[in-house]
Structure 1
Amino acid sequence: KNGSSRSVLFFINLAIIILNLVAPTISQDDGICTFTADYCWKCFDTGTYTAGDKYQENLNSLLSSFSSSTQNNSGFYSSSRGQDSNKVNAIALCRGDLSQDSCQACLNKSTDILLQNCSTQKEAIIWAERCMVRYSYNLIFGIEQTDPFKHVPSPHSAKNPQHDRAASGNSLKKFAAGHATVPGGETIYALAQCTPDIDKQNCSSCLKQSVTEIQTCCDGKQGGKVLKPSCNLRSMADKLVDIPAPVPAAPALKEEKKKSNIKQIVITIVVVLVAFVTILSSICIFLRLTKRRVKLDEEFGNVSLVESLQYDFETIRSATDDFSDANKLGQGGFGAVYKGRLANGTYIAVKRLSKNSEQGDREFKTEVTLVAQLQHRNLVRLLGFCLKAGERIVIYEYVPNTSLNHFIFGKHINKTCFLLMELYLDPIDQAHLDWETRYKIIGGIARGLLYLHEDSRLRIIHRDLKPSNILLDEDMNPKIADFGMARLFMMDQTQGDTNTIAGTYGYMAPEYVMYGRFSVKSDVFSFGVLILEILSGKRISSFQNGENEEDLLSYAWRNWRDDTVANIMDPKLTTGLGIEMMRCIHIALLCVQENVASRPSMASVVSMLNSHLSHCQYPHDRHIICNIRVDQT
């Protein structure tokens, strides 16, 4: 694509400013990747596939399409193939100076070597002198990745070691692809390149880090390479790039004789007009596509991550019968949710944000950029989005059952919830939610939260966990939904602060309500409240208990202290207080402890759900009972 080609040129120009090349001294030869090797690769041990399975079929098909494509002149390829655990994501990048034939030859050979040496590995990368190929079952598009890396110093010492330090100054003029003569008469060549799917900031970061590393790995040598998934940097005494010879000027055409034939004149005029209209149309299409990409970039900051998920507005309008009330599943303060059906028969859930909702805009960007990168059976799956003329629409998989809110509390619907996928079915008796199903739901929610907190490539705090945000599929498997208020944490970050408290009272942890502090333990608190609601069939808000009115947490703690925990259980559960029930009450009270540090992690919760009570610590009653208003949910 032309956009990809311009991205490569942009990153090369960026590298001209930031490159400070210092030739390398310390060799880091791992036994595979050497300076003279034509190919070096890395096979990851993060997962394997079986010969002949669907993952291998998708992998072979995807890599073959890269090495055989004749429609791409930019030298950059990125695509996916397959679904769920069999989905393969791949990127291929050729050196910017290569012709299409040279690029295809390099990709073809590199692909063969990679599949031969990393057979059955679900993630691998190979660097060749002229190209790079990588694939993974994880999302890799638009993400700066500097690991794994290869430091490859030249085996030959420089004739003049000082030329390296001269190369870092004005003598090289910091060109990303060029050469210069340094003191001592030697000529050095340099080349830098980023994958076009990462943005300007990430490219700059990757190249700056590579400059620092080449200074430490290859000092005193005639050159070296720093090879990474998102960028590469090369410096050596040999010519690096293929500079095509200038095309000789075409000989001047002889002036044609003036045509007197009227028919010929008419044909000429028609051809010129057709050519003009074609060129004008092409320019209009190009400007329209450019405007679209700029708009996406302004909205999300990373076009490549979300561009493939965009739906046409007319497609969504048709699927929902022009957003008819008959297809409306729920209405909230930020917009409405509709049931839709695509032309291929696939049912979808369409969340349409109000045009005048600023809060909705923030939620829209958060949901699209975060949920698009998440894949777990206990999280609702994002199918795409639509962005047109003030419209903000998110498209999710359609979950054919109602929310957990309906099953444990009956037909009362929370109208402020965006993702309430409420079907207009006959009322379902709460007795249908037997203990086995409730325990299955608790375990599924726990696994979904564990994925968000620890197992995904991102660390995400949901911040709005409640029954109406838990959807149930046809097999009553829970799916966590509504990530509009979620927050992204760095992997080493443990706590965040906010001046704007957002969420649902009763489910929010005390430290978040009072001080605006949130962490993974905030979600743990909400999960504990959820367990108590599932076990008791009562809402967290105040309820009538004989002549007294109290909230569910106070009720649970009082019965725990009085050794009457059987009173907490939903009377519709006809079986006695079993080990699993007791275990869940125990875990719930551990999760809602006032002391943040005393609450367990979700990893501990999942472990306790599958172990005996003797392995659980003893919960301590809250030291402070907060008098907090609780909204109906």
Structure 2
Amino acid sequence: MKLTKLFFLVFLVQLFYVIPKTSAQLFEFLYNLCGDNHSTPNAYLTNLKTTLNSMSSNTQITYGYYNFTAGQQPNKVEAMALCRADISVDDCRDCVSSSASSLLSVCPNSMKAFGYSDNCVIYYTNISLFHVLTDRPFWALRFDGRITADIPKFNSSLTTLMTSLQNKASLGNSVLKFATGNTKVTANQSLYGLVQCSPDLNRLDCVKCVQNLTLSVFTQYFITTSPLYMAKGGRVVSASCNLRYELYPFYKNVTYIATPPASNRNATTSIQGASSSKSHKIIAIVVPIVGSLVLILIIASFCIFVRRKKQIKFSGNFDKEEMDTLQSLQFSTGAIKVATENFAVENVLGKGGSATVYKGKLTDGQEIAVKRIERHAVLGEEQFKNEILTLAKLHHGNLVRLLGFCLEEDEMLLIYEFVVNKSLDAFLFDPEHRASMHWDTRLDIINGVARGLLYLHEDSQQRIIHRDLKAANVLLDADFIPKIADFGLAKLFKADQSQAVASKVVGTHGYMPPEYLIQGQVSLKSDVFSFGVLVLEIVSGQKISSFQIGEKQESLLAYAWENWQEGKAWNLVDPALSPAFSAEILRCIHIGLLCVQNNMADRPTMSSVSLMLSSNTMTLEAPLQPAFFKQNRPMLLSEPSQDNSSDQSNSRSLSVNEASVTELYPR
């Protein structure tokens, strides 16, 4: 398909045109809206070319949404491209590549430009774009052909269909927000629709975008009064959302099909009997049957209720005081099945060795994340109970919030608040998404995690050691505020307790300190070590288990230490980070190295770490050599001399992350 055949140049970004075209004509064009012409700085143009070239050449993204950024203000470029979700990956890439090249050539002196073709939308600007509702500028296109009869009914059907589709699309995830469907206008005519939102939008912004375009375009530009008619087909396209309707099924291989709105489904007609005697006979037969069924249902419900009560108490092994405390947090299995559409595959957010996390929506509209733990998993029930008792009384902005739990019908379910941006590792260790994480965002995440750990160690009712802090267990909300999650391995200490010896070593390689790996010794400094590793990962943009410089696989801690000793600490820093923040970045490397020192006594407490992060004038001690250990090394640990934990065992084998749910899909 040639996208460069004809271009329409419009230099006022805030204006739009309604262009009548037949469907056959439409697909030949790339429509463009260019910002005001002016002298574009060379630095901006360089960043723009870099961004568009990256977008055109990227082969790792397979879900049709591209978002890239390059440079710093005032020459910063933010660009996005969004393909129709019902086209192939190859068609999507061809469209993005051609559109990126074409848009740059027809808008050579613009710092903002918007392009649209049949298969994709592309937009770049010098202001913030990601997670921002951008419904201006937009294209509105209607097709030749008019509906002249019963305009109000057609408009009502169209509005109802689009409302249904906008709601379904908004419930998508950070990879896809897309819905298609149809409804009956007359007995012989169906109306087909499509709605798609940019997946970086939250649910409410997706709905708002579609509503804005529907209200401002459909009712004003697709219906005329002289003479009265309505276009048979049309579409409206903006950077944040697009929508289309036709009188024929225009979408392709779609797996997410919206069902027709209930108000437009075929009604069932009820016909009265010919005689009242027949009605009496039917009533005489039906009433006893219905009564018997009701009685059976009451008895069955009572039995199930009693069984569930017994099962909760027996399976969870909670004491009476614990159950009284947690009574208000219990959900029924039925409610969670409805919320997750019976644990539908398309609602899976992530999987781990012993659990799967699903996205759900309660009847009141609240979005939730449901962690479904395998009942027969190793330590499954113990970690289930541990996480409930740990999180039930914790309330902090940097900790994920537990909404409730369910323990019935052989299900162990934990219900959390839904965090829209999933986990830190989905951004930090993805080459494309990492580029959009600027230093101020990374520093805010470091500070937020530090505040969350400080609360666990010092300010909560009990001292809590997380024991599995890592990027996969740090969730990010819509504003990229970090929330520490997954407390299945957490250790509860008394107020005067500082350490214990665990009978089973569980966690994730690379984040566990040497004294824990070798001796099973758990302390506040265990989390400090994990925090130090996390800080170095955030600075470098690489994972400790796969840290690599050039073609050579390295140890993150060893590489950081060697370069620090040689005065070359900047070698560790992610190239995407600006040198303008070098002082702050190097200070964080310094703090990270202090946290991963080999001797736990040399590591700072989280209160000291928080002070170091908040005060740029505080003098930091010189770090000592960090702990070095080989990754993925199996080991058998001997029994310690004493065990202050609740775990009892004659031997302890190294168990890696038995409870964590860490593998999340990318955006």
How far, CA to CA, are the matches of 2:442 and 2:303 in structure 1?
57
Residue of structure 1 in register with 2:543 after alignment: 539
Residue of structure 2 in register with 1:610 after alignment: 614
How far, CA to CA, are the matches of 1:282 and 1:344 in structure 2?
25
After superposition, give the CA deviation of every residue in 1:501-543 in whole Å (9 maximum; x if it has no partner).
1000100011101111010100000000000000001111243
Residue of structure 1 in register with 2:629 after alignment: 626
What TM-score comes out, normalization by structure 1 length? 0.51
Residue of structure 2 in register with 1:201 after alignment: none
How far, CA to CA, are the matches of 1:297 and 1:409 in structure 2?
37
Q: CA deviation at 1:290?
A: 6.1
Match of 1:599 among 603, 614, 628: 603
After superposition, give the CA deviation of every residue in 1:315-372 in whole Å (9 maximum; x if it has no partner).
0001100101010111221121100011111100001111321422111111111101
Which runs of no fewer than 5 residues in structure 2 stay unpaired?
1-294, 634-655, 657-661
Matched, 1:355 2:375: yes
Q: CA deviation at 1:620?
A: 1.0
Match of 2:388 among 352, 368, 387: 368
Distance 1:391 1:287, change over 3 A: closer
* SS of equivalent to 1:340: strand
Matched, 1:570 2:574: yes
Is 1:297–1:303's contact at 8 Å kept on the other side of the alignment? no
Deviating more after overlay: 283-292 vs 372-381: 283-292
After superposition, give the CA deviation of every residue in 1:196-246 in whole Å (9 maximum; x if it has no partner).
xxxxxxxxxxxxxxxxxxxxxxxxxxxxxxxxxxxxxxxxxxxxxxxxxxx
Residue of structure 1 in register with 2:588 after alignment: 584
* SS of equivalent to 2:557: helix
Matched, 1:410 2:430: yes
Q: CA deviation at 1:584?
A: 0.6
Q: 1:150-161 residue pairs with structure 2 within 5 A? A: none
Q: CA deviation at 1:626?
A: 2.4
Letter in 1 for 2:509: Y
* SS of equivalent to 1:460: strand
Residue of structure 2 in register with 1:83 after alignment: none
Is 1:300–1:369's contact at 8 Å kept on the other side of the alignment? no
Q: CA deviation at 1:296?
A: 7.4
Matched, 1:445 2:449: yes
Distance 1:571 1:289, change over 3 A: closer
Q: CA deviation at 1:446?
A: 0.0
Residue of structure 2 in register with 1:525 after alignment: 529
Is 1:310–1:384's contact at 8 Å kept on the other side of the alignment? yes
Q: CA deviation at 1:464?
A: 0.3
After superposition, give the CA deviation of every residue in 1:118-164 in whole Å (9 maximum; x if it has no partner).
xxxxxxxxxxxxxxxxxxxxxxxxxxxxxxxxxxxxxxxxxxxxxxx
* SS of equivalent to 1:615: coil
Residue of structure 1 in register with 2:310 after alignment: 291
Distance 1:394 1:560, change over 3 A: same
Distance 1:281 1:312, change over 3 A: closer
Is 2:403–2:415's contact at 8 Å kept on the other side of the alignment? yes
Is 2:347–2:359's contact at 8 Å kept on the other side of the alignment? yes
Which runs of no fewer than 5 residues in structure 1 stay unpaired?
1-275, 412-427
After superposition, give the CA deviation of every residue in 1:572-626 in whole Å (9 maximum; x if it has no partner).
113335321121111100000001111000000001101125422211113x632
Is 1:512–1:522's contact at 8 Å kept on the other side of the alignment? yes
Letter in 2 for 1:521: K
How far, CA to CA, are the matches of 2:312 and 2:543 in structure 1?
46
Residue of structure 1 in register with 2:193 after alignment: none
Letter in 2 for 1:365: K
* SS of equivalent to 1:534: helix
Matched, 1:338 2:338: no
- How well do the aligned residues superpose, as a CA RMSD in angstroms? 2.8
Residue of structure 1 in register with 2:407 after alignment: 387
How far, CA to CA, are the matches of 2:301 and 2:620 in structure 1?
67
Residue of structure 2 in register with 1:399 after alignment: 419
Matched, 1:311 2:315: no
Residue of structure 1 in register with 2:479 after alignment: 475
How far, CA to CA, are the matches of 1:598 and 1:356 in structure 2?
41
Distance 1:612 1:317, change over 3 A: same
User: How many equivalent residue pairs?
Assistant: 341
Distance 1:565 1:576, change over 3 A: farther
How far, CA to CA, are the matches of 2:584 and 2:596 in structure 1?
19
Distance 1:283 1:499, change over 3 A: closer
What TM-score comes out, normalization by structure 2 length? 0.48
Matched, 1:551 2:555: yes
* SS of equivalent to 1:429: helix
Distance 1:612 1:320, change over 3 A: same
Is 2:465–2:523's contact at 8 Å kept on the other side of the alignment? yes
Is 2:311–2:408's contact at 8 Å kept on the other side of the alignment? no
